[in-house]
Amino acid sequence: MKIKLLILAGMLLACTVNAQEKKETEKKKKAEITFSVGMHCENCKTRIEKNITWEKGVKDLEVKLTEKTVRVVFDPRKTTKEKLKTAIEKLGYTCEISEQDKDKAKK
| CATH number for the domain harbouring residue 90 | 3.30.70.100
| Total structural domains within the chain | 1
Over pLDDT 70: what percentage of the chain? 71
Answer yes or no: is pLDDT of 47 > 80.
Answer: yes
**What is the structure's pLDDT at 88?**
97
User: Residue 100 is part of which domain span?
Assistant: 29-106
Is residue 8 a part of any domain in this protein? no
Is residue 52 a part of any domain in this protein? yes
Residues in the chain: 107
d(CA 81, CA 88): 11
DSSP assignments along 44-79, one per residue: HHHHHHHHHTTSTTEEEEEEETTTTEEEEEE-TTT-
Q: What share of the chain is helix, strand, coil (3-state, %, to 5)?
A: 50, 20, 25
Is residue 21 a part of any domain in this protein? no
Is residue 63 a part of any domain in this protein? yes
Is residue 92 a part of any domain in this protein? yes
Is residue 14 a part of any domain in this protein? no
